[in-house]
Chains A and B, each alone.
Chain A
Amino acid sequence: MATVTLSHVTKRFGGVTAVRDLDLEIQDGECFSMLGPSGCGKTTTLRMLAGFEDLDEGEIRVGDRVFSNSSKRYYLPPEKRDFGMVFQAFAVWPHLDIFDNVAFPLQIKGLSRAEIQTRTRRALEDTGLLKVQHAYPGELSGGEKQRIALARAIAINPQVMLLDEPLSNLDPKLREEMRFEIKDLQRRLGFTIVFVTHDQAEAMAISDRMMVMRDGVLQQVGSPIEIYERPSSRFVFSFIGLSNFLPVETREGATFVQGAPEAGPLAVVRPKGLPDAAWTLACRPTHIDLQAEGGLRGTVARRVYLGDLVEYRIRVGPHELRIQKGARHEVFQEGAPVGLTFRHYLGYPEG
């Protein structure tokens, strides 16, 4: 069983706490993404998992085996962890041909020549590299280099595969393709994936579960749907997709936009559990409807045609909201008054 467990994991670099008291359990065979802006601690967490970084506090276990333990100062070295890992900059060795790159981990294990042959060939086949096995990395494209890295990582049949932003050096089209390939390999070979990315769309597309980190602190763990639909904080809401935040105030059941009472009341219900009368309404651009009459009153400040979408910037008092509508929607001119209604929204404490 390759359940990966992190308990109270903390890592400091000088005075900066890169990861703070992280508790996490990654299930066997799951595809788990670590998402967050750069510097949030996601890569550090992955490197601690891989064994490249020691822990300042806490423990990492895989199955029931301890891999890192700070109080016992025990760290299984990276070369003993039997993980597969794919790096952002590919890290394929330019002085070895494709075959030797992929065969390297098997050679290190001291397998027989015949077994190295078969297993390398299988890894190459799985990644579609068999045709170019005698080429050198310098002769191949970025996508192919990333395939080499993948093949090398799966060659030893790892239980856990660590992926450090493996797609960010590829162009968008290739990125999507590789995403499917990684998923596909996982289905066939059954390894656990820990995937680091700063791209929320990528994380949502690939993950069974994901977590969002910020400044070394875990913000939320859950399935992509949970995280998209019920972000636990304003930060997660803004990180996980396009967002509007509108400061509002609810008094005696009626909710008004702060600084723009003349825009009229909003047809919303203040979510339970908010501490103050003043709160922040959070809403996705696609979750707001436009109408000529009624609703929250605003003015079209700008309208941008995006092909299948039309994007509006609507001014409501001192605030501006971003709204996206299907292209065949009723069109409002710039400068025209419009009314807004909020189909889905969430509330967060003010600030």
Chain B
Amino acid sequence: MGQRRFGTAEILLLLSILILVVVVAIPILLIFWNAFVVEGKPDFLRALALLKEPDTFEALKNSLVIAGGTTVLSTIIGVFFAWLVSRTDLPYKATMKVLFLVPFMLPSFIGALAWKILLSPRGGHINRLLMDLFHLEDPVFNIMSLGGIIAVETMYLFPFVFIQVSGALERMDPTLEEAARISGAGLFTITRRITLPLMMPSILAGALLVALYSLAHFGVPAILGTERNIFIIPTKIYEKIYASGGNFEAIRTGTMLSSILVLAAAAILYIQSLVLSSGRFQVISGKSMRPMVLKLRGLKWPLLILSVLYIAITVVLPTATIFLVGTLKTYGLAFRLENMTLDNFTYILFKWELTRDAIWNSFYLSLSAAAVTMLIGTLISYVLVKTKIRGKFLLEFLGVLPFSVPGTVIALGVILMWSGRFGINLYNTAWIIFVAYIARYMAFALKSTSAALEQVHDSLEEAARACGATKWQAMRDVVLPLIKPGMVAAFFLIFLPALRELTTSVLLYGPHTRTIGVAIYTLNEDGETVYAAALAAIALVIIMAGQLLIKRVTRAKIESA
């Protein structure tokens, strides 16, 4: 108590600032420094000249096309299905709603792997089947193209829009639409003039998240594009860093491209905050009422079939493919029982050091990163939400950074920071992945713990203090138990994505620090398709088990990060 100038709150603030500076701010600064400072002097012209080189320019262009295409397509599909499950009398709505979220759980690079197996121009199973059936000379589909990458990204990213829009449609006060109806407007007019405009912020929020992810994702374009010389920013950075053996110009190009990614992400987040903060879209009602439902009549069953088919094609087909290919004795054999074996799985799980290590690495890295990040996140959120001290704005600024840093950029940043420049060399150790994970997933932890803390009204803590509890007792006995669900949610929000992480670890792995994602990716690169699929199948089993575990452990609603 009292007016001490330097109390616990100040120590916590400094600690929080310090952590964010070391983990996030300095790596980003180093990227900008490397990109724009040559021999101690700022040099933007040479930096810009690098971008004009054909291959980097091409990567930028592809990024734009893929992010744009994926965003538009995901928005259309997401809005349509969200509307279908929340505003129509589609049969089995509740089940369909859960099913539309399943693509979220599938790592998109595993999906890409499956689609490559099914639809690559010459070897793809579906292409071969169609060519045999109709005696065609040329393959029907080519998934290894810009269009193919957009299609696969959309399959696994559209739930961002779906969640936002279906949530908003459900929370929206139904009398807003009823008022339009009683004013004489028909359903079509209401949708166009009332519902859609009111949904715009949610649609935009979802669309911007899709844009952010499709810009920063490594997996899908790496698996479907690299072989065909289709690069986007993250895969170009990877290529520069690896192909060039780490020469200075290559790293500079990498940092330049990273800077663009950071700026693009920051711009996207800025637009999002502008959209969400304009108060013209407060549509949430206090009462829960049944919203207006459109009777689909004759279209009821066709639309259900369409939805089920969509899930079957985007989720069941690729998953089944991964499991089936994982059992083949050799890739290329027909899917017949005599060609199948479970030995691949035992080999991967117990005998092969590379995959065994990968599974173990992913496990302990995600577990420890999730635990540590969750705790740090709670600390920072506590300072942000619950204290009123000077200098907090600094933390508020730093706290926004983790949200705008794509995985590739973090990887490059930690390479620059922890490769001996400051006396510590973590390169090729698991530690460098660990630090990168903390930076990468800090945003998740901040989001869910600060949401939990905001739910705990100050008066609850004050009531404990009034009952004679010290600050620490109040914290331990009142605040912590109340935010525990938020902390558990944060833990799982980090643990599960980290388990299947590829974008960051692919730039950081050493000979003995492959993660599951990296192992699948490199096995596929080396042509070990069967083992790549088998390991992916194991990853899918782990992810599904983890999702079930989350459901049992937290009943708290987990919003998408």
Check: B279 CB closer than 8 A to any chain A CB: yes
Set of chain B residues within 8 Å of A84, measured between Cβ atoms: 182
| In-complex Cβ contact of B184 among A82, A92, A162 (8 A) | A82
Given A94-B281, A95-B281, A138-B280, A89 and B286 touching (CB < 8 A)? yes
For B186-213 the 0/1 string (1 means CB < 8 A from A) is 1001000110011010000000000000
Give the docked Cα–Cα distance between A105 and B190 (Å).
11
- CB of A91 within 8 A of CB of B176, answer yes
Check: B282 CB closer than 8 A to any chain A CB: yes
Check: B41 CB closer than 8 A to any chain A CB: no
- CB of B181 within 8 A of CB of A79, answer yes
| In-complex Cβ contact of B181 among A78, A109, A136, A156 (8 A) | A78
Check: A152 CB closer than 8 A to any chain B CB: yes
- CB of B198 within 8 A of CB of A95, answer yes
Set of chain A residues within 8 Å of B194, measured between Cβ atoms: 93
For A136-151 the 0/1 string (1 means CB < 8 A from B) is 1010000000000100
- CB of A152 within 8 A of CB of B179, answer yes
Chain A residue at minimal CB-CB distance from B285: A89
- CB of B280 within 8 A of CB of A87, answer no
Question: How far apart are A79's CB and chain B's nearest CB, in angstroms?
Answer: 5
**What's the interface size class on B, roughly?**
20 to 34
- CB of A91 within 8 A of CB of B179, answer yes
Give the docked Cα–Cα distance between A61 and B185 (Å).
22
Q: How many A-B residue pairs have CB under 8 A?
A: 79
- CB of A108 within 8 A of CB of B184, answer yes
| In-complex Cβ contact of A138 among B185, B186, B200, B279 (8 A) | B279
- CB of A87 within 8 A of CB of B179, answer yes
| A:68-85 near B, CB below 8 Å | 77-85
Check: A52 CB closer than 8 A to any chain B CB: yes
Check: A50 CB closer than 8 A to any chain B CB: yes
Question: How far apart are A293's CB and chain B's nearest CB, in angstroms?
Answer: 51
Give the docked Cα–Cα distance between A172 and B186 (Å).
36
Give the docked Cα–Cα distance between A254 and B285 (Å).
58
Check: B173 CB closer than 8 A to any chain A CB: yes
Check: B77 CB closer than 8 A to any chain A CB: no
Set of chain A residues within 8 Å of B180, measured between Cβ atoms: 93, 104
Give the docked Cα–Cα distance between A92 and B292 (Å).
17
Give the docked Cα–Cα distance between A88 and B287 (Å).
10
Question: How far apart are A68's CB and chain B's nearest CB, in angstroms?
Answer: 15
- CB of A87 within 8 A of CB of B282, answer no
Give the docked Cα–Cα distance between A177 and B200 (Å).
36
The DSSP consensus for interface residues of chain B is helix
Set of chain B residues within 8 Å of A52, measured between Cβ atoms: 178, 181, 292
Chain B residue at minimal CB-CB distance from A83: B182
Set of chain B residues within 8 Å of A88, measured between Cβ atoms: 175, 287
Give the docked Cα–Cα distance between A138 and B194 (Å).
16
Check: B50 CB closer than 8 A to any chain A CB: no
Set of chain A residues within 8 Å of B184, measured between Cβ atoms: 79-80, 82, 105, 108-109, 156
Check: B183 CB closer than 8 A to any chain A CB: yes
Set of chain A residues within 8 Å of B197, measured between Cβ atoms: 95
Give the docked Cα–Cα distance between A156 and B183 (Å).
8
Give the docked Cα–Cα distance between A156 and B287 (Å).
28
Question: How far apart are A285's CB and chain B's nearest CB, in angstroms?
Answer: 33
- CB of B280 within 8 A of CB of A94, answer yes
Set of chain A residues within 8 Å of B287, measured between Cβ atoms: 88-89
- CB of B183 within 8 A of CB of A136, answer no
- CB of B283 within 8 A of CB of A104, answer no
Chain B residue at minimal CB-CB distance from A155: B183
- CB of B173 within 8 A of CB of A91, answer yes
Question: How far apart are B2's CB and chain A's nearest CB, in angstroms?
Answer: 40
Set of chain A residues within 8 Å of B178, measured between Cβ atoms: 50, 52, 78, 85, 87, 91
Chain B residue at minimal CB-CB distance from A101: B179
Set of chain B residues within 8 Å of A156, measured between Cβ atoms: 183-184
Question: How far apart are A96's CB and chain B's nearest CB, in angstroms?
Answer: 8
Set of chain A residues within 8 Å of B186, measured between Cβ atoms: 77, 79
Give the docked Cα–Cα distance between A165 and B155 (Å).
46
Give the docked Cα–Cα distance between A82 and B182 (Å).
7
| B:154-181 near A, CB below 8 Å | 173, 175-176, 178-181
Question: How far apart are A345's CB and chain B's nearest CB, in angstroms?
Answer: 40
Question: How far apart are B277's CB and chain A's nearest CB, in angstroms?
Answer: 12
Question: How far apart are B198's CB and chain A's nearest CB, in angstroms?
Answer: 6
- CB of A108 within 8 A of CB of B282, answer no
Question: How far apart are A341's CB and chain B's nearest CB, in angstroms?
Answer: 47
> A52-B181, A105-B184 given. 9 additional CB < 8 A pairs?
A52-B178, A87-B179, A89-B286, A89-B287, A93-B180, A93-B198, A109-B184, A138-B279, A162-B182
Residue contacts A-B, CB under 8 angstroms, 12 given:
A79-B183, A79-B185, A79-B186, A85-B179, A87-B178, A89-B173, A93-B176, A93-B179, A93-B194, A104-B180, A136-B279, A156-B183
